[in-house]
Amino acid sequence: MEKKKWRSVKGEGSGFGTLILGKKPEIQSEQIFISLTRGEGLNFFQLIINQILTLMVMNQMKKAPGLLYAELYGEMKDRKGYGQTMTVWDGKTMPKFRNRRSHGIAMKFFGWVIHRKNTKTYYLTYSSNEKIPSVTEVRDIIREYGKFYDGGKLVRLPSPPKLNKSVNG
């Protein structure tokens, strides 16, 4: 088995670029799950904490069984930060990863740091047998279908596209 390594792809405009783990799968089955998260409007303090938590989780992701592909994207506009994550999983291994070790710890702190008056956050996990979305498509999908918090208050529950075997938590 090939060892997974993170690589950086330079972003356009004011983006930080995209960190990528693995090769984007071309053909999918009904056993593929896509997990998306996005935070918008983060201030400098939130960005620092988010970066520390992300670095912890990135190491765990390299060793996660069932993780086929991951993209971490960030940008800064008008002194506000935006972060977006997409992971692609084979089977239902994502919930085990989500709740354990570094990611489990990060989730506890993430809510405290990210769910503030100044932020909008989105979460979505869904089953897919279509193509893996691009960075821009992820932003649009998660804004339309994701669980949505505005200023730390739940506004909308997720409604996954095509309603295929969602594993939202």
**Domains of the chain (ranges, CATH numbers):** 8-163 (3.30.70.100)
**Start-end of H helices in 63-127:** 94-98, 101-114
At 105 the pLDDT is 59
Which of the listed ranges 4-8, 112-116, 125-129, 149-153 does the model predict with the highest average pLDDT? Answer: 149-153
**H or E, element range at 141:** helix 135-145
Q: What percent of the chain has pLDDT over 90?
A: 15
Instruction: Give the bridge partners for 85, in sequence order.
Output: 37, 72
CA distances from 11 to 16, 17, 82 (A): 6, 4, 13
**Mean of the per-residue pLDDT values for the chain?**
78
d(Cα 163, Cα 48) in Å, to the nearest integer?
35
> Of 68 and 31, which is predicted with more confidence?
68
Instruction: Find tokens 């979505």 and name the residue.
Output: 124
At 167 the pLDDT is 47
Tokens, residue 94: 């994502």
Q: Mean pLDDT, to the nearest integer, of 110-127?
A: 78
At 111 the pLDDT is 63
At 169 the pLDDT is 46
CA distances from 165 to 26, 75, 119, 168 (A): 20, 31, 29, 9
At 55 the pLDDT is 79
At 156 the pLDDT is 95
Please count the residues of the chain: 169
Q: Categorize the per-residue pLDDT at 100 as very low, low, confident or very high, splitting at 50, 70 and 90.
A: low
pTM: 0.82
User: At residue 34, does pLDDT exceed 70?
Assistant: yes
Beta strands of 23-152 (E only): which ranges? 32-42, 67-77, 80-90, 120-128, 147-150
Tokens, residue 43: 């201030």
At 140 the pLDDT is 94
DSSP 63: T
